[in-house]
Amino acid sequence: MTTSLDILMIGHFAKDRIVVDGKGETVPGGAVYYGSVALRHLGVRVGVVTRLHPDDFSLLDALREVGVEIFAHPAPETSGIENIYDSRDMERRRTIPLGFAGPFTPEEIPDVVAQIYAIVPIMAGEVDMTLLKILASRGPIALDVQGFVRVREDDALVFRPWDEMEEELTHVTYLKVDKVESEHLTGKTDTLEAIKTLASLGPQEVVLTQSAGVTVYAGGHVYFSPFRPRSLAGRTGRGDTCFATYLGKRLSESPAEATRWAAAVTTLKQEKPGPWDGNMNALHEILAETPVEQLT
């Protein structure tokens, strides 16, 4: 078994339902799914710590097939979210919780050395402050805020203030938010102001995704690179793919170059349902056309 990885991801593997114009299908989901597959296609050594019902363990074969190291733990049920879209506007969605696999415990984290520990929950309650501190003592933390501010409430997933945000962000190196989350957390509608405010709380680098593209704060500078998909058939998993790609490229590239790669991979991912398929010819064509702009 691998004892050294580039990135160890911690989060629930999901069994989601995607509904477009009233027609739905059940598909694998979660940041550990979209993110780990993209990372493997980029040659990154990645492991996934997850929880799900034993009946669904076979779903993890999709990760094993591309070389992801799996650390799976049984749970009473598998997490899942129903994402409901109108095809006229694939940017907006309604989300409904379908299941929750429960919180991770420190004992469930393997004795694995990683360059980055990526905490990528799909909803609140998966990772608490104690576990975050334990992981931070082992190495740099990457964190997606959706797993702290997206809260189950009856039959809906709603945004709720993150009470421990300021303390927890002091332990984070790489932070990921989307446009809506950044506005809620900072009270600022201007993207540059919001991303700098979040960085002032502790994270060294902040990755913000929105429909137009990815904006990154790193080293006192802000970079932007656009998404240019020909369709949004693969809209679900956009932010997960973008953040994972950015982290993977930061292992060897500058923030600006990692931003460009993240935009290019995410552009291709949005065109097809499921994780990015790893088509390197298409990726290099998109990379040649993908600019990165330094905003500040």
CA distances in angstroms from 97 to 163, 228, 237, listed in the order given: 22, 30, 16
What pLDDT shows up at residue 84?
85
Please say whether the beta carbons of 41 and 18 come within 8 A.
no
Residue 128, C-beta contacts closer than 8 angstroms, at least 6 positions apart = 103
Please say whether the beta carbons of 94 and 73 come within 8 A.
no
What pLDDT shows up at residue 110?
97
224: part of which helix (H) or strand (E)? strand 221-226
What pLDDT shows up at residue 1?
53
What pLDDT shows up at residue 83?
81
Pairing between β-strand 14-20 and β-strand 23-29 as defined by DSSP bridges: antiparallel
Q: Hey, where are the domains in the chain?
A: 4-294
118: part of which helix (H) or strand (E)? strand 113-119
- DSSP one-letter code for 76: S
Q: Which of 248, 258, 181, 268 is nearest to 218 (CA)?
A: 258
pTM of the model: 0.95
- Domain covering 4-294, topology: UDP-N-acetylmuramoyl-L-alanine:D-glutamate ligase (3.40.1190)
What are the 10-residue block averages of pLDDT along the chain, 296 residues in total? 87 92 90 98 98 97 98 97 78 83 98 97 95 97 95 87 91 96 94 96 97 97 97 92 98 98 98 96 97 96
